[in-house]
Amino acid sequence: MIALPSRPSRTEWVPLAKIQRDPRVNTRPVNKAWVDKHVPVFDSSLIGILAVSERPDGTLVVLDGQHRMELLRRIGWGDQTVQCHIYTGLGEQREAAIFRGLNDRRYVEALYDFLAELTAGERAAIEITSAVDNAGWKVGRGRGRDRVISAITSMRRIYGNPDAPNFAALVKTLTTVTQAWGYQDEAVNGQILEGIGRVYIRFGDQVDQADLAKKLASNGSPGKLLGDARGKARMERGTVARSVFSLVVTLYNVRKTTRKLADPK
């Protein structure tokens, strides 16, 4: 973990126009709906104090308060000054770490929190990104045909505890779905990833990866597997990921007389 300074270097009023946003650090995009909602009910007493980082070249980067900045600009106060806690001497990694720390108590979408961890140099984020890259994908928001994966929570669950990660299970999961279905949207659906990931977590090297990919492809699209899993989950009142796991184990065992995986029930 990256050590954070206990307090900002100083607090002062800063021209709003001088404060910038660096998407590598403040990885969450501005929520325009939030801004739209607050424009009609703007209350200057609720702006509070922004947190910014002062870089060696004098650039000021917002760490916490980008929505309030945008709100002020939208109501025509872009030429005003705002009170800021100013941190100095951080560097990008520590800036990203502070962004995460300041946002721990509010909603930050998993993808953007993950991107902040990546900028901060956290081991789990780096290794998960490496597994994604090695399978020919990239982390981000988009569609499968763009080779983009946004199922961060599911990949974290497969990867497991950063102190004792199951990196191999994540690599095998991503490789398997790609070999089976290519770069389809539903191939990297979080529930499919988590279900197949459970197969590798539980059975490890007992699984013939190439054979599993071939059987998944022969069984139909990832959408079919997902649909079957949803139906099974409803009937059994279980989770979709658990049902994917069960269906995949059953599929893998078809026509096998030896080296079958244990019955998942």
Could you tell me the two tokens for 155? 């990949």
Per-residue pLDDT at 229: 92
Average per-residue pLDDT for the chain: 87
Per-residue pLDDT at 2: 43
pLDDT digits 0-9 by tens, 188-228: 999 999 999 999 999 999 999 999 999 999 999 999 999 99
Q: What angle do helix axes 152-159 and 190-203 make, rounded to 10 degrees?
A: 10
* pLDDT above 70: residue 37: yes
Closest-CA residue to 26 (of 79, 81, 103, 122)? 103
Q: What percentage of the chain carries pLDDT values higher than 70?
A: 92
The burial of 74, by beta-carbon neighbours within 10 Å (0-12 exposed, 13-18 middle, 19 or more buried), is given as middle
**Cβ neighbours of 164 (radius 10 Å):** 6
The domains of the chain, with CATH numbers, are 10-114 (3.90.1530.10), 123-253 (no CATH)
pLDDT digits 0-9 by tens, 109-154: 678 878 888 988 889 999 999 999 999 999 987 654 688 898 898 9
Reported as a pLDDT band with limits 50, 70 and 90, residue 34 is confident
